[in-house]
Each structure stands twice: as C-alpha cells, then as structure tokens.
Amino acid sequence: MSARPLEGRRFYFVGIGGAGLSAYANFAREWGAEVRGWDARETIFLEAVEGVDVDLGGAPSAPADFEVVVSAAHSGRVHGRSRAEFLAELVALRRSIVVGGAHGKTTTAAMVAYVLRELGHDPAWIIGGVVPQLGGNAGAGEGWLVVEGDESDRSIGLLAPEIAVVTNIELDHHATFASGAELASFFAEWLARAPVAVRGWELEPADCKLSVPGVHNRRNAAAALTALEHAGVVRADAERAVAGFAGVGRRFELVGERGGVRVIDDYGHNPTEIAAALDTARELEPRALVAVYQPHVYERTRQLHQELAAALGRADAAIVTDVIDGRDAPIPGVSGKLVLDRIPPPTRRGWAPTLEEASTLALAWVRPGDVVVTLGVGEPWRIAHAVVEGLPT
C-alpha cells in the first residue's frame, strides 16, 4: 500500500484548531493531501499544523475544488463530511488500533504509538492531544495506525479497527447517552465487532516502571501494554519502552514553577478525572493545593454538579469559572456557580467567571510551597500560563 494514499486530494478542515481536526489535518498532509482550514479563533492546537493556510474568524469558505471536513463543534456552518466519516476512511486504509473510553484514552493511545515508534515499528497515529515526544498529535508512519476514538457523538462506532481498546466506561456525555447502561451496551457492541478486544477494567494496573505519575496512568499502561502484545510486541520490550513515555500535553503537565509555586495544567473535566489529577497533585505534598476549574458543557454541569463539587473538594482551595460554551446551548440556572456553591467545607471557594479573573484570584491566593492545578477541556491552560507569568521570581 502506498505510503501517501491521499496523494492528489485536497481537504479544507472546518474547526482545524480543535484537538481532533488539527490531528486529522496534519495527518492528511503527511499522507500526501493538500490541506487548508478554518477556525473561529486561534487555539493551542494550531501549532500542530504550522505551515497550513488557516482562515481565522468570519465564516468558513472552502475553495471550490476542496473536500470539506467539518468538526462536530461547527456542524451546520458549511456542508461537508463529518470528521468521523473522514476518520473511518483513514482507519480502513491500515491495520489499526483504536482506543476509546471515558478516561485515559488519549494517554493510552499515545503510549501505544510511542512504544511502537521506540521499538522501530514506524506507526502512524491520530491522537486528541499534543504528544511532545512524538512531535505532535499526528504522524504518518507506514506501520500500525493508532487512533483515539470518541464516544461523545458515537463516532467511534463508525471505526472498524483490528484491535479495539476501551479503557473504562463511565457516563460523561449525557446528551448522547440516556444512561450508563446504554453507554455500556454501545461499547459492548463495538468491541464485539473487532477481531481483538481489550477491556481495561479487566486488567490489573501495570507494575512496570513509568515516568508518568498516578494509579490512573498505571491502568492506562495496562491497557496499552495489552494492546501492544496483541499487535505482536514482546511484553518485556514494551515495558522497557513505555518507561520512557513522558506524557501528553495538558495531561498533568507542569507549566512552570516560580517563587516556590508549581503550576500544573490538566485536561480533567469530569469528576473521576478531576479527582485523579488532584490526588496525584497531593502526592507532591504542597503547602496548599489550589484547583482552578473551567466547566465545559452545560448539560454535564447540570447533571454532575454535585460530583464535580465533591471532586474539587479534594483541594484546599477551589476557583471555578463560568461554563465555556460551544458544544451545547445555555441552560437557565446552570453556570459555574452551580458547582462552586456545592464544594464542601473546609475547601476555600472562589468565583471567577472569566479566565482573567481566575488567574488574578489564583495569584492573590497562592503562597510559596503551593501547587496550582488548572482543569478543564476549554482553555484553562491560559490561566496556568498567566499564573506562572504573574508569580514573583
């Protein structure tokens, strides 16, 4: 099969600044396609597609001779194929490993791709996060294709990999699945169609050396190592290689340390992930642990505000912003304060509707020896960088 199977095709990605489409765009470019795109504003993921012509703001306008691929966040803006349909085409072109699940799918997929590359298997990968050691969130090798799937819109169900991995099952997308039972049934049906299925909850946490902290990452490694064995990698070789994996951007990422304060940014956005991030931060033995959370999706906030508040209660102080919009419409009475007001004592609580107000409040609260953890899907990383820049040297 050609190493450049998309040679001669032209794609215009609407929402190219998102974690997913930036990966697909970069991947299409490396597989030989000409790539352009549009996004509403500049994002951190545009760094991954440096050199691509990107239209920012206004309305997307694809050249007449380009195939259009549209992110779910921008569906309805312009006619085109969904990102899920495009990804299904890519998965069909190669022997593929697809990783899904409520938590840890980005890290698990990255571990698989990293080990394959370290051991000389020349993988391709499409992952919804920046992996510094891999040079970005997508790469176009000639071996296995490693993909992070997405159940939030059921699009993972369109993918037909040789090896299907589900890290864990927990209801997180209430607008898509009516219950945990419906979600479990969806994943069971998807796994049943795959020649090889890996169920992360059936595995013991990996006990090999890891560079990424936390029990949750030992569970991620267990799923990754099992998938690698099914792909023909000797377990001992995989364990030696995965020890060098340093993590994914925005997954418990140390943004900086200044004035005795460490600032960490994490993608955690639901109760389980927030709790795991804060428990891992607590292992650093801070004088005080300060959490800054940007809620994402009104329906999730409505459904899980009690659980989100309880998870944030693991910190000594918690700052909550307003809900970032984009995926769903505002719901009357649902805001970040719904979470904040239910954070249990003795955690100190702070309301900061905007990112700027959140960074200002965090800087007012922190003292030497503290650890700050910013959390959320949107752009809490901006808070983390502002806090680092605002700390005294």
| CATH 3.30.300.20 given to domain 94-242 | no
User: Is the dihedral angle over the CA atoms 56, 60, 61, 64 positive or is it negative?
Assistant: positive
The pLDDT value recorded for residue 19 is: 80
Which two tokens mark 297?
């999706």
Query: What is the location of CATH 3.90.190.20 in the chain?
Result: 253-390
- Per DSSP bridges, beta strands 124-131 and 136-140 are antiparallel
Residue 276: φ, ψ to 5° = -65, -45
Distance CA 189, CA 232 (A): 25
Tell me the longest C-alpha to C-alpha distance in the chain: 61
| CATH 3.90.190.20 given to domain 253-390 | yes
- CA nearest neighbour of 268 among 249, 250, 248: 250
Which two tokens mark 73?
């966040």
Which two tokens mark 226?
């099992």
User: Is the dihedral angle over the CA atoms 314, 319, 323, 327 positive or is it negative?
Assistant: negative
User: Is the dihedral angle over the CA atoms 103, 109, 112, 117 positive or is it negative?
Assistant: negative
- Neighbour-count burial of 41, counting CB atoms closer than 10 A to its CB (0-12 exposed, 13-18 middle, 19+ buried): exposed
The letter for the amino acid at 270 is N
Query: What is the location of CATH 3.40.1190.10 in the chain?
Result: 94-242
The pLDDT value recorded for residue 285 is: 97
Distance CA 15, CA 37 (A): 7
What parts of the chain have a pLDDT lower than 50?
none
Partner residues linked to 265 by β-bridges? 253, 374
- CA nearest neighbour of 251 among 133, 114, 139, 376: 376
The pLDDT value recorded for residue 326 is: 59
- CA nearest neighbour of 302 among 337, 274, 276, 277: 337
The pLDDT value recorded for residue 171 is: 85
Distance CA 286, CA 369 (A): 6
> Contacts for 271-274 with beta carbons within 8 Å, 24 or more apart?
271/304, 271/307, 271/308, 271/310, 271/311, 272/102, 272/103, 272/170, 272/311, 273/103, 274/308, 274/311, 274/312, 274/314, 274/375
Tell me the residue ranges of DSSP E strands in the chain: 10-14, 34-39, 53-56, 67-70, 81-82, 96-100, 124-131, 136-140, 145-148, 163-166, 196-199, 253-258, 261-266, 289-293, 317-320, 348-351, 371-375
The pLDDT value recorded for residue 197 is: 98
- CA nearest neighbour of 186 among 151, 149, 147, 148: 151
* Structural Rg of the chain based on CA atoms: 21
Q: Residue 156: CB partners within 8 Å, gap ≥ 6?
A: 98, 100, 149, 150, 190
Distance CA 256, CA 143 (A): 36
The 3-state DSSP class for residue 348 equals strand
| CATH 3.30.70.2860 given to domain 10-82 | no
Which residue has tokens 């095709």? 9
Partner residues linked to 324 by β-bridges? 296
> How does pLDDT run across 84-134, given as a tens digit for each residue?
999 999 999 999 999 999 999 999 999 999 999 999 999 999 998 889 999
Which two tokens mark 119?
């051991």
Total H helices, total E strands in the chain: 11, 17
